[in-house]
Amino acid sequence: MQTPCRVCPLRSLPAFTKLEAGKVDFIQSLKSNHVYQDAGTWIIHAGQPSELFTLFSGWAARFKTLEDGRRQILNFMLPGDLLGLHASMFADALYDIVALTEVELCLFPRKRIWSLFQEAPELAFDLTWLGARDESLVDDNLLTVGVRSASESIAALILSLYRRADKLGMVNDKTLLFPLTQQHIADALGLSLVHTNKTLNKLRRLGMFDLEHGMLTLRNPHVLARIAKAFDADFAPRPLI
Amino acid sequence: MQTPCRVCPLRSLPAFTKLEAGKVDFIQSLKSNHVYQDAGTWIIHAGQPSELFTLFSGWAARFKTLEDGRRQILNFMLPGDLLGLHASMFADALYDIVALTEVELCLFPRKRIWSLFQEAPELAFDLTWLGARDESLVDDNLLTVGVRSASESIAALILSLYRRADKLGMVNDKTLLFPLTQQHIADALGLSLVHTNKTLNKLRRLGMFDLEHGMLTLRNPHVLARIAKAFDADFAPRPLI
DNA sequence: CGAAACGTTGATATCCTTCAACATGAGTGG
DNA sequence: CCACTCATGTTGAAGGATATCAACGTTTCG
């Protein structure tokens, strides 16, 4: 059961709302397990019933696959994100979630979700809020894939991941551990691998960022934001369940 | 206040779950108004606080716009769909919703959402469930825009709208009132208007469907589904709030 | 040492966009 | 009732962004 939720290191980040100790304890009472998984392993399988998780550490990707194998990454998950909220409300998950790095997961059995609605309406509200935030990330990705060019798309993706990581204290000296391969980026943006590679290098040569050996360094966030035509959609601190 | 919620004609459709009369009355107590709006008018404005609606009749579209004017339709709304759940949980809406036809809306003031969580956990659960279903529609659209070709995209969109409308009893003799312009379709699929037109006509000439004068007739759903590489994601009846 | 995963690069092909023009029908005001 | 405009749909031609194909380099790891 690892660290008790009261002293969860995520919770003390400014990215998350403060919560009374009693409610934190209630969350802990719902948590059934603390799980470790290796990079590349499945967290949620499309077509199968799934539990609800909070990503405690590491990166994950949620995606759908067409019968012919083409795949679309719907969004990337960073620590503090909820995994499988939708999947756990339906009979079966409609998507896969895979670990991109080693991950730690807080496991909340789907059966207990209902008791959360019954006994802790504030937390139920937070859960719904988090689902809404999730969707707004997917909305942004759909906007990107639908209207942005390859350069704009990559700029927007890099920027958005950087900002999210920054709020979680994962950025040091403008640099962050970045586990995505170019294939991941291509699958998230609906681009081919080759074109992703060329566009990535173009932006790199323009001095927008460095990206090698799994390290991303932002060199010119302002111009990158101009290229991306990105908003500054800054979310207030969010609940952590 | 129009028809009382107990005799709501939507609620009796097989597409929706049955609900005890008491809960229906509670929903009605949350409803503050029954609103009519003309085609082309805004229901929710990006950047402004918004209320929560149920679309009682008509079609609507949710979209985001880049500063330079490029727009992406995120999803289309049909009767029974929830409008602005996410918008009403955040300070301001992050997207616009516009009426595509004359619409009737059931208005639920955002202030009352909280009382729903406090006093009716089952309904709060339903609300979250509906939010999850919404996101799964956006997921599907992202999959379409990301990986499908123009023909596949249009096939998938037509099919998905047809199926949703069919469950609502809006289809007669394989035909349904279809208010989308080619520009709407283009904006939803991330395609240019010209290419949308040509692709649409190609599928039409292939005998997949007829589409003129705002009427859509499906001629060959099975082949269309093959072209779309579409799943048969059939949702069970859903709650109506 | 060989294989597998990941990244890189050039050449060629194609899907889709853009530009431009025209057709049609509905609505509006003279 | 006609002329006009505006929204929508249609079509051809040309150009560009991105995909596909193919080959090779590097690193890691068993």
> pLDDT in tens for each of the 241 residues of chain B?
567 899 999 999 999 999 999 999 999 999 999 999 999 999 999 999 999 999 999 999 999 999 888 999 999 999 999 999 988 899 999 999 999 999 999 999 999 999 999 999 999 999 999 999 999 999 999 999 999 999 999 999 999 999 999 999 999 999 999 999 999 999 999 999 999 999 999 999 999 999 998 999 999 999 999 999 887 666 678 888 8
User: Which tokens sit at A101?
Assistant: 């790095």
DSSP code of residue B7: G
Nucleotide with smallest C1' distance to residue A149 CA:
D17
* Termini Cα distance of chain A: 15
**In b/e form, how buried is each residue of A66-83, taking b as 16+ CB within 10 angstroms?**
beeebbbbbbbbbbbbbb
Residues A84-106 have pLDDT tens digits of 998 889 999 999 999 999 999 99
pLDDT at A69 exceeding the cut of 60: yes
Question: Region A206-229: what's the mean pLDDT?
Answer: 94
Are B97 and B41 a contacting pair, CB within 8 Å? Answer: no
Question: Region A14-22: what's the mean pLDDT?
Answer: 93
pLDDT value of position A236: 75
pLDDT at A82 exceeding the cut of 60: yes
A87/A70 Cα distance (integer angstroms): 21
- What lies within 8 Å, CB to CB, of B27 at 6+ separation is B5, B123, B241
pLDDT value of position A232: 64
When scoring B64, B142, B148 by the number of chain A Cβ atoms within 10 A, the one with the most, hence best to mutate, is: B142
Task: Determine whether the interchain pair A147/B70 forms a contact, defined as Cβ–Cβ distance below 8 Å.
Answer: yes
When scoring A44, A95, A134, A142 by the number of chain B Cβ atoms within 10 A, the one with the most, hence best to mutate, is: A142
Cβ neighbours of B147 in A, within 8 Å: 66, 70-72, 190
H or E, element range at B97? strand B96-99
Residues A125-151 have pLDDT tens digits of 999 999 999 999 999 999 999 999 999
pLDDT value of position A233: 59
According to DSSP, the residues that pair with B124 across neighbouring strands are none
Task: Determine whether the interchain pair A129/B89 forms a contact, defined as Cβ–Cβ distance below 8 Å.
Answer: yes
Task: Determine whether the interchain pair B72/A146 forms a contact, defined as Cβ–Cβ distance below 8 Å.
Answer: yes
pLDDT value of position B240: 86
Positions 120-159 in A, CB within 7 angstroms of strand D: 149-151
Are A121 and B117 a contacting pair, CB within 8 Å? Answer: yes
Task: Determine whether the interchain pair B125/A114 forms a contact, defined as Cβ–Cβ distance below 8 Å.
Answer: yes
Taking CA atoms, A213 is separated from A52, A99, A102, A179, in Å, by: 32, 19, 17, 9
Residues A146-165 have pLDDT tens digits of 999 999 999 999 999 999 99
Question: Region A182-198: what's the mean pLDDT?
Answer: 97
- Taking alpha carbons only, the member of A134, A61, A50, A42 closest to residue A88 is A50
B199/A182 Cα distance (integer angstroms): 31
Ramachandran angles phi, psi of B186, nearest 5°: -60, -45
Are B106 and B31 a contacting pair, CB within 8 Å? Answer: yes
Are B132 and B124 a contacting pair, CB within 8 Å? Answer: no
pLDDT value of position A9: 94
Question: Region A172-177: what's the mean pLDDT?
Answer: 95
Ramachandran angles phi, psi of B184, nearest 5°: -60, -45
| Strand A52-57 with A82-83, pairing | antiparallel
Are B50 and B93 a contacting pair, CB within 8 Å? Answer: yes
pLDDT value of position A2: 66
Nucleotide with smallest C1' distance to residue B196 CA:
C16
A196/A190 Cα distance (integer angstroms): 10
